[in-house]
Structure 1
Amino acid sequence: MKYVNMSKQVLEHIGGVENLNHVEHCATRLRLHYNSKKLVNEEALKGIENVVGIVSKAGQVQVIIGPNVNEAYNDFLDVSGWKEEQHSGAGSGAEEPEEKKAMYYVNKFGSFMATIFMPIVPALITGGIILALRNLLINYFGVDMESGTAVILNAIFSAAFTFLPVYIGFTMAKRLKMEPIMGAFLGALLVSSNISGVEGLDFLGISIPVVDYSSSVLPIMLGVGLMYFVDKFFQKYIPETVKYFLKPLFTMIVVVPITLIALGPIGTVLSDYVGIGVTNLMDNIGGVAMPILAALYPYMVMLGLDKAIMPIGFNSVASIGYDPVVMVMGFISNLCIGGTALAVATSIKNDKSKKGMIASFGVTALCGVTEPAFYGALIMRPKVLIGTAIGAVSAGLVAGIFGLVSYVMGGCPGLLTALFFIDNDGGFGNLILAGIVAILAIVVSFVASKIILSKTETNKNSNSETEIKEVI
């Protein structure tokens, strides 16, 4: 119950439980969706102990906690007594109107995608590392591919990635405030051995295209999107007395054929085009695109766009076997933020506790979670972000020119996910390139940030001396 006092203060400054209409969390942030912005005291939220910072979005406040956000989330639920089912539909239309410029829709989209993919990230990271370990054992330690050890390790990987439509179906249905099990139900149908990749199927005489739905993303998202509207229709017109039984039945009768005949194949074709487009981009202008993308990535995280582009990475891995963009630019950027945070920490002389805190933020960023470092150490020192960008551009040039790719797609790219760069045959060439890129990212961003910090300190001292002379 480490976060009880924090939760009490957050609840007070968010306007109480009555002002909430949805509560969730991602890898580092407690996301509180409110009804009235007038009741939210953002300045007070920033000063609460254990709160690294806040991000204000359309209709929500994101309280940055760090890697222990799940513990903070559970304490907040206990303290507030929040229950989703008691507030279903609350806040619809109650939220104060906002000027709907481009950033409004960017924030909405990023937030929506984050709530779908972030709950899945721990399984993806685990599955990806297990796959890399399996390949190492088979290729370099003499473990038989048919042995029980190899089979079990492969099963762990498959459980994380093959059943991705099940997980996405669950989280997306939950985010759309439907019964989450219905989204998972549709995902399980898509990956079923009776459906996925099976030839000769038809429904009422209409031929069903042959599609392998394992590890796919867009088909289930399109299917659950359709389910949302079908569910709303039946919610309105089915009598209450039989709704519990008939609504899910009628919903699946409508959604399943349309998904299998049309939406699933369309989503698969779109995924293939995404893979081809990403490959052409990196083949033709990777040396230019990657440094720019790596330098911009911290601001994508700030806007929530890093989660919004995750489907691009998943589709690339599913269609071409690797991801040359999303994981690579995240890997470079996160290491650069870690290097910059460590530079800030080593520049602090008189405050040991603050120095230790920022150093821990830097280590956390190197492991793939950058929000504590970005909001707790860097954003109030905007000049050092130039050092981050210099490191990202330098490492991005090497990664883009030599074609660094990730063979596994998962969240929070950093040193802990370095094994994702081992190719599917267990080769180390791509991993060695990733190591060179990592060293370059950390060292250049650290050195560049230290130089910027030292010059800033020199200028500050010089200005102080000038002011003293003028006073004298």
Structure 2
Amino acid sequence: MSKYHDIAVKILSDIGGKDNVINVNHCATRLRIQYKDKNNIDDNDISKIEGVAGTVLREDEYQIVIGTDVGNVYNEFSKLIGDVSGQKKSRTEFTWKHLGQVVIDFISGTFVPILGVLVAAGLVSAVLNIGVSFFGLSTKSGSYTILDGIYEAGYYFLPLYLGYSAAKKLNMNPMMGAFLGATLVYKTIDSAKGLEFLGLSVPQIQYNTSVIPILLGVLFMKLIDIGIDKITPKSIKFFTKPLITMLIVVPVTLLWLGPLGFQIGTIIANALSFINLKLGWVSVGLMGA
């Protein structure tokens, strides 16, 4: 067995076993485990496991700092626990602090997996600029076209990547989230003018490179997913669930959630631009924080 398997076995034992695990995922350096009962977690023993750099116990989530090997430990841990989708935790009293933690966890859990794509695309753009400026790379050459394609694809299809990641974070089939993102950026829908659905006018929105519209769409998809899962017979669920989901979620996203998300994104962008132009020292402080 590998060292990652050994680490995963020890973590699972000290966290209270499979029955205490509701869900598990990871970010760039941390294994994130949603648990049932924190009293079953032996934080002291986990901190002493070789390969564990630290731990953070939060409400509903236990974070284990592992470093760049976290993906390998996650894979082994996932094999050990199998399917835990049926595990549920008793309802906790609502607090604004808890809501804030949930929102932050959703955003970070959605964006961290795609950071590699964005970083790679940005670096390819830098390589292109250097090639053109210092090495005579022609913008009409095949090499430029291919490299530019890598850069453009990294950002143009951002809704698709976010849809996949957000759906996975919400314990749905991630391909459904990607499907929604792909629909938003499809050539006959993205920035389409004069589009209508069942007599309702669809606002003209540019979805490629957008962020908030797809996040709102996937959150709505989660609600629909829960409802359809309860009422659809198992014998036909494989076919009808994705069909009904898309027939409901896509129109609602295009008609209302997408435009709302676009407006929210515009407000945030304008606010950040204002802070940067008028209150530069504040933006420096925010970046430093």
Q: TM-score, normalised by structure 2?
A: 0.94
Q: Which residue of 2 aligns with 1:167?
A: 161
The alignment status of 1:185 with 2:179, answered yes or no, reads yes
TM-superposed CA distance for 1:100, in Å, is 5.1
Q: In 2, distance between residues paired with 1:26 and 1:41?
A: 22
Give the 3-state SS of the residue equivalent to 1:214 in structure 2. coil
The answer (yes or no) to whether the contact 2:19–2:87 under 8 Å persists in 1 is no
The alignment status of 1:268 with 2:262, answered yes or no, reads yes
Cα deviation digits, residues 253-312 of structure 1 (max 9, x gap): 111111111111121121111111101112111114423x245x3xxxxxxxxxxxxxxx
The alignment status of 1:34 with 2:35, answered yes or no, reads yes
Counterpart of 2:40, as a letter, is L
Q: Which residue of 2 aligns with 1:56?
A: 57
Counterpart of 1:187, as a letter, is G
The answer (yes or no) to whether the contact 2:275–2:282 under 8 Å persists in 1 is no
Q: In 1, distance between residues paired with 2:225 and 2:51?
A: 40
RMSD (CA atoms): 1.7
Give the 3-state SS of the residue equivalent to 1:262 in structure 2. helix
The alignment status of 1:202 with 2:202, answered yes or no, reads no
Cα deviation digits, residues 188-247 of structure 1 (max 9, x gap): 000111111122211122221211111111111111111111222221222222222112
Structure showing greater radius of gyration is: 1
Give the 3-state SS of the residue equivalent to 1:142 in structure 2. coil
Give the 3-state SS of the residue equivalent to 2:266 in structure 1. helix
Matches within 5 A, 1:80-159: 81-83=80-82, 86-93=83-90, 97=92, 101-159=95-153
Q: TM-score, normalised by structure 1?
A: 0.58
Matches within 5 A, 1:53-452: 53-78=54-79, 81-83=80-82, 86-93=83-90, 97=92, 101-291=95-285, 293-295=286-288, 297=289
Counterpart of 2:88, as a letter, is G
Counterpart of 1:7, as a letter, is A
Counterpart of 1:87, as a letter, is V
Cα distance change of structure 1 residues 243 and 77 upon mapping to structure 2, 3 Å threshold:
closer
Counterpart of 1:91, as a letter, is K
Counterpart of 2:202, as a letter, is I
Give the 3-state SS of the residue equivalent to 1:3 in structure 2. helix
Counterpart of 1:76, as a letter, is F
The answer (yes or no) to whether the contact 1:34–1:91 under 8 Å persists in 2 is no
Structure 1: which 5+ runs fail to align? 298-472
Cα deviation digits, residues 307-360 of structure 1 (max 9, x gap): xxxxxxxxxxxxxxxxxxxxxxxxxxxxxxxxxxxxxxxxxxxxxxxxxxxxxx
Give the 3-state SS of the residue equivalent to 1:177 in structure 2. coil
Percent identity between the aligned chains? Answer: 37
Q: In 1, distance between residues paired with 2:64 and 2:220?
A: 32
The answer (yes or no) to whether the contact 1:211–1:265 under 8 Å persists in 2 is yes
Give the 3-state SS of the residue equivalent to 2:130 in structure 1. helix
TM-superposed CA distance for 1:3, in Å, is 2.2
- Segments ≥4 residues shifted beyond 6 Å: none
Counterpart of 1:154, as a letter, is D
Cα deviation digits, residues 123-150 of structure 1 (max 9, x gap): 1111110111112212332111121111
Answer 1 or 2: higher relative contact order, Cα 8 Å, separation at least 6: 1
TM-superposed CA distance for 1:77, in Å, is 2.9
Give the 3-state SS of the residue equivalent to 2:62 in structure 1. strand
TM-superposed CA distance for 1:72, in Å, is 2.0
Counterpart of 1:222, as a letter, is L
Q: How many residues align?
A: 288
Q: In 2, distance between residues paired with 1:114 and 1:179?
A: 19
Structure 2: which 5+ runs fail to align? none
Counterpart of 1:40, as a letter, is I
Cα distance change of structure 1 residues 47 and 271 upon mapping to structure 2, 3 Å threshold:
same
Q: In 1, distance between residues paired with 2:266 and 2:13?
A: 48
More helix by share: 1
